[in-house]
Amino acid sequence: MSSDTPTGAFRALPTPRLRSLYTHLCRRNPGEPEFQQAAHEVLSSLAPVLAARPELAEPGLIERIAEPERQIIFRVPWQDDSGAPHVHRGFRVEFNSALGPYKGGLRFHPSLNLGIVKFLGFEQTFKNALTGFGIGGGKGGSDFDPRGRSDAEVMRFCQSFMTELHRHLGEHTDIPAGDIGVGSREIGYLFGQYRRITNRWESGTLTGKGRAWGGSELRPQATGYGAVLFLADMLTVRGESLDGRRVAVSGSGNVALHAIEKAQELGAHVLTASDSAGCVLDEKGIDLPLLKHLKEVERGRLHVYPHRRGTSARYVPGGRVWDVPADLALPCATQNELDAEAAATLVANGVKAVVEGANMPTTPGAVHVLQQAGVSFGPGKAANAGGVAASVLEMQQNATRQTWSRTQTAARLAAVMHRIHDTCYETADRFGAPGDYLTGANIAGFERLATGMLAQGLV
């Protein structure tokens, strides 16, 4: 984690009550900096709404919002192709179901721990509230790393993982999807084991399924597409567009690839991509078919890209995409990848807007630098909600046994992202913070969630 993210570096919360709440939260959740960071970000926005709507300041309400309804941790034993046993840890944090069944992805990555899952579930709860759909928030996964594993090994792991997790799922209870390390292959193995154990074809219990067996058009593309659609709306209210803009994108996974695709479709000149070892700069613009082949077919590393692309591209080991002069930036890799120093570099190079494709990729210090410089900032809980929106569209099709065309699905996804943008924009304006999408997203999500919880009593 970047050095500008420790608790002590956060800006002070605006009221004694919020400061007391945050101190209590940190005491109850020690050693979980990502969760503490996510909670602080939301709490820092709430003073105006608590003052304007005293009923939402009811004692214990915010404490309940910040406490998961259920935290599940379990052992996942499996055998590799040589017969050697392995034991990993599985997680599912069912954070809040006031607005509907828990909904959120599964992440398979060696860095995963309970604090990260809690931060993701907390963010997901607000993100799902912003969609306007009837879904609650949750998140899960394992510290298993699927990279370099054979299909058979991934299948055995997924089957062991689902053997325990299935007892907590159901289309009216908890509905996982994919995330980092969990794509259509993993969702297929997970759903197959769920179906075998339960003897039920409950297609709405997992989303991100294959198109041929219950999946939806555009589900793999939705998070990346949605982030760019949100960015396009941010520019539109300023009388601008993506056409001809230089764009820096981090990452080279599913979200980054499809953010690049949609940005190019809207006329942008995308210059970069990255992986954990470095970044690629392509002055001619990223060759998306080549990048997709490297990442999705060969499952290779980015350093190969310049050798196949030619002299317009270069790979920088350990390099940062944020050092490349760009008009717009889309962090699409992982949490806390864009720190205050990188934000200052972006500002110095003339960046106009930063939109989060990943979950909380921008540190608090970086957000402060961007906002102080007048850079428009689109928070992930709003901007990357396209993935969960498409998951709900998949659930709707599953419930009615229907299949929608790509055109129908794209129109519905665009409408959802436009609604989320307008909700954040109008809420920020209503509470005296015009143009502050972070404040707008936090307050709008909190209002909907808190109203539902108050109506249902102390549960």
* 396 annotated to bind ligand: no
* 223 annotated to bind ligand: yes
Active site residue 118: no
User: Of 118, 139, 209, 262, which residue is the catalytic one?
Assistant: 139
CA distance 413 to 407: 10
* 221 annotated to bind ligand: no
Nearby residues of 164 by Cβ (< 8 Å), 6 or more positions away: 74, 75, 76, 90
Contact 326, 231 (CB under 8 A): no
CA distance 17 to 20: 5
* 103 annotated to bind ligand: yes
Nearby residues of 455 by Cβ (< 8 Å), 6 or more positions away: none
Nearby residues of 128 by Cβ (< 8 Å), 6 or more positions away: 99, 100, 103, 104, 135, 136, 137, 385, 388
* 178 annotated to bind ligand: yes
* 292 annotated to bind ligand: no
- Numbered residues of the known binding site for NAD(+): 223, 254
Q: Which residues does the annotation mark as catalytic?
A: 139
- Numbered residues of the known binding site for substrate: 103, 124, 127, 178, 391
